[in-house]
């Protein structure tokens, strides 16, 4: 807020008669002095002396008149100088005020120009953003149209167009991934022999950007491939965030080797050919309930930090969990292993349940560590069941289990006697039961294990 400057007192013009009055005062003063001096001179006794005194009196009177006039002239000169200085000061004040006013006008003009420039920049930026969004929408729409074309070659072009669009526009990556997942979930068109290659390409586009060591990594990408048909799906080394493969069909060879699962990995009711989960790192629970494994399945050195749920699953081919680590509760209840299951040197740090599980082939649990409860109730071991050098640090329950082949517990360590109530074993088998286990013959074919 501007502060008003103090106003100067108005300068009045000196009237002409004031000068006349000054002159009259000077004359009157000179006359008065002359009269006094002449009067004193007349009193002198000598004529010569009187004449000299009269001349001195006249000279003095004129001097007084001249001095008074000079004083008045000096006063007038001083007044003129004061007026001149005041005028100069006034001019300087006016010039300063004018300069302040000009500065304010200039500042206002600059502020207006700057505001106009900012407004113009905002309008320009908005126009550029709108143009970019329109172009992005056009590119996205065109790529999706290509993906829906009847020609496999055109669909391949649409895949690569979407990938390039996602590479240049990070904000579009989740949408593009969702579109590719939706494409893979849709049934393959009939009569198109090259559709398999299109789907392989779509899978590679997704998995290529899920590898953290890849320069084109798209972080935090989520896959929803529930019910999709996937051919030779290769997620080796990928980072999977809340990935869903429920009821998916994996044909050919599937690989999750070295993958990292952040969030739940849902594979319930999925169907696999050959599959590799070696060195998988699962930070949340993995669901394999009701899954079907028609070929080999390998989980060697896999780590399940939040446990594994594998209930009612079927493994038709050889299965291996060599050196796998299960940090939380794990369940294989009612699961069928058709051609051998090997858990050699696996570690179960929490409870594990294999109730009503069937091992149609070799069941290898040698050197396994069960740090907590291990349940094998109603489990069927159709051939050899090997628990050699196995450590049971918690309760072990084999109640009503069936050992149709040899039951081997050589060197097994139990922190407490295992429960084997009503478990049965084939007579004549090469068995090695835990120390203290009582065996009774039921008939020529079966032996009954009784808790001691």
Mutual angle of helices 152-168 and 195-208, in 10-degree steps: 10
The arithmetic mean of pLDDT across residues 5-23, rounded, is 64
pLDDT of amino acid 252: 94
List of residues 6+ apart from 89 with CB closer than 8 A: none
- Distance between CA 246 and CA 261 in Å, rounded? 15
For 304-319, write each residue's pLDDT tens digit: 999 999 999 999 999 9
| Contacting residues for 137 by C-beta, under 8 A, at least 6 apart | none
- Per-residue pLDDT for 326 more than 80? yes
8 versus 380: the higher-pLDDT residue is: 380
Which pLDDT score, from 0 to 100, does residue 290 have?
97
User: What is the Cα–Cα distance from 263 to 117, expressed in whole angstroms?
Assistant: 49
Confidence check: pLDDT of 92 > 50: yes
HSE of 212 in the Cβ direction (CA atoms, 13 Å)? 10
Distance, in Å, from the CA atom of 100 to the CA atom of 87, rounded to the nearest integer, reads 20
Q: State how far the Cα of 171 lies from the Cα of 9, in Å rounded to an integer.
A: 73
CB–CB of 348/327 below 8 Å? no
Mark residue 191 as left, alpha or beta (left: phi above 0; alpha: psi -120 to 50; beta: remaining): left
Q: Are 193 and 202 in contact (CB under 8 A)?
A: no
Which segment of 31-40, 164-173, 316-325, 392-401 scores lowest on mean pLDDT?
31-40
Distance CA 338, CA 336 (A): 6
282 neighbors 305 (Cβ within 8 angstroms): yes
Task: Name the band, by pLDDT with cuts 50, 70 and 90, for residue 77.
Answer: confident
- For residues 362 and 343, is the Cβ–Cβ distance under 8 A? no
Q: What are phi and psi of 224, to 5 degrees?
A: -125, 95
Identify the residue whose tokens are 């003095």.
60
Contacts of residue 392, defined as CB under 8 A and 6 or more positions apart, other chains included, come to 370, 374, 412, 413, 414, 415, 418
pLDDT higher than 60, residue 107: yes
Name the band, by pLDDT with cuts 50, 70 and 90, for residue 147: confident
**What distance in Å separates the CA atoms of residue 286 and residue 98, rounded to the nearest whole number?**
81
- Specify whether the CB–CB gap between 434 and 416 falls below 8 A: no
Report d(CA 115, CA 123) in Å as an integer: 12
pLDDT at 2 over 50: no
Lowest-pLDDT range of 93-107, 113-127, 156-170, 417-431:
113-127
Say how far apart CA 88 and CA 6 lie, in whole Å.
17
Contacts for 184 with CB less than 8 Å, ≥ 6 apart? 199, 202, 203, 225, 228, 229, 230
Q: How far apart are CA 200 and CA 231, in angstroms?
A: 6
Confidence of residue 372 (pLDDT cuts 50, 70, 90): very high
- Residue 354: pLDDT over 60: yes
**Closest by alpha carbon to 314, among 360, 250, 245, 276?**
360
Q: What average pLDDT is seen over the chain?
A: 87
pLDDT at 7 over 70: no
Question: Do 246 and 269 form a contact (C-beta atoms < 8 A)?
Answer: yes
- Tell me if 162 sits within 8 A of 143, measured CB to CB: yes
- Element spanning 438, H or E: strand 438-441
How large is the greatest C-alpha to C-alpha distance in the chain, in angstroms? 193
User: Is it the case that residue 1 has pLDDT exceeding 60?
Assistant: no
Evaluate whether 391 touches 369 at the Cβ level (below 8 Å): yes
Task: Indicate the pLDDT class of residue 44, thresholds 50, 70 and 90.
Answer: low
Range of weakest confidence among 86-100, 173-187, 312-326: 86-100
- pLDDT tens digits, one per residue of 197-256: 999 999 999 999 998 776 678 888 899 999 999 999 999 999 999 999 999 999 999 999
Measure CA 423 to chain center: 56
Which of the two residues, 2 and 407, has the higher pLDDT score? Answer: 407
pLDDT at 58 over 60: yes
**Residue 189, number of CB atoms within 10 A of its CB:** 11
Residues 6 or more apart whose CB falls under 8 angstroms from that of 280 comprise 256, 257, 258, 259, 260, 261, 299, 302, 303
- Tokens representing 401 are 């289990």
As given in the structure block, the two tokens for residue 7 are 């106003």
pLDDT tens for residues 257-303?
Answer: 999 999 899 999 999 999 999 999 999 999 999 999 999 999 999 99
């Amino acid at each position: 807020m501007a502060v008003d400057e103090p106003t100067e007192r108005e300068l009045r013009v000196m009237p002409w008669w004031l000068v006349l009055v000054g002159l009259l005062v000077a004359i009157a003063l000179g006359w008065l002095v002359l009269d006094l001096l002449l009067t004193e001179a007349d009193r002198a006794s000598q004529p010569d002396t009187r004449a000299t005194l009269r001349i001195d009196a006249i000279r003095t009177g004129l001097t007084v008149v001249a001095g008074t006039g000079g004083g008045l002239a000096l006063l007038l000169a001083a007044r003129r100088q004061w007026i001149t200085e005041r005028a100069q000061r006034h001019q300087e004040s006016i010039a300063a005020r004018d300069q302040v006013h000009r500065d304010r006008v200039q500042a206002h003009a600059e502020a207006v120009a700057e505001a106009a420039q900012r407004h113009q920049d905002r309008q320009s930026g908005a126009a550029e953003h709108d143009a970019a969004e329109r172009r992005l929408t056009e590119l996205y729409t065109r790529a999706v149209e290509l993906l829906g074309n009847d020609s496999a070659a055109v669909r391949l072009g649409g895949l690569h167009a979407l990938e390039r669009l996602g590479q240049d526009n990070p904000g579009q990556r989740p949408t593009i991934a969702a579109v590719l997942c939706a494409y893979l979930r849709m049934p393959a068109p009939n009569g198109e022999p090259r559709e398999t290659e299109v789907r392989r390409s779509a899978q590679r586009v997704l998995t290529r950007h899920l590898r953290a060591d890849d320069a084109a990594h798209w972080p935090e990408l989520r896959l929803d491939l529930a019910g999709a048909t996937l051919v030779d799906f290769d997620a080796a080394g990928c980072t999977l965030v809340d990935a869903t493969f429920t009821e998916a069909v994996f044909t050919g060879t599937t690989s999750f080797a070295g993958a990292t699962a952040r969030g739940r990995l849902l594979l319930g009711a999925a169907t696999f050919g050959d599959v590799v989960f070696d060195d998988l790192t699962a930070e949340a629970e993995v669901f394999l309930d009701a899954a079907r494994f028609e070929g080999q399945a390998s989980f060697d050195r896999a780590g399940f930090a939040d446990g594994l749920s594998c209930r009612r699953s079927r493994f038709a081919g050889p299965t291996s969990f060599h050196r796998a680590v299960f940090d939380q509760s794990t369940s294989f209840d009612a699961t069928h292993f058709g051609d051998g299951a090997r858990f050699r040197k696996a570690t179960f740090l929490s409870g594990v349940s294999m109730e009503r599980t069937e091992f149609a082939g070799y069941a290898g649990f040698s050197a396994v560590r069960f740090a907590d409860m291990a349940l094998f109730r109603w489990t069927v071991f159709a051939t050899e069941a090997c628990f050699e050098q196995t450590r049971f640090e918690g309760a072990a329950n084999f109640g009503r289990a069936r050992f149709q082949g040899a039951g081997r517990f050589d060197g097994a360590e139990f922190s407490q006697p295992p429960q084997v109530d009503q478990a049965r074993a084939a007579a004549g088998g090469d068995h090695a039961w835990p120390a203290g286990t009582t065996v009774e013959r039921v008939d020529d074919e079966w032996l009954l294990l009784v808790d001691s």
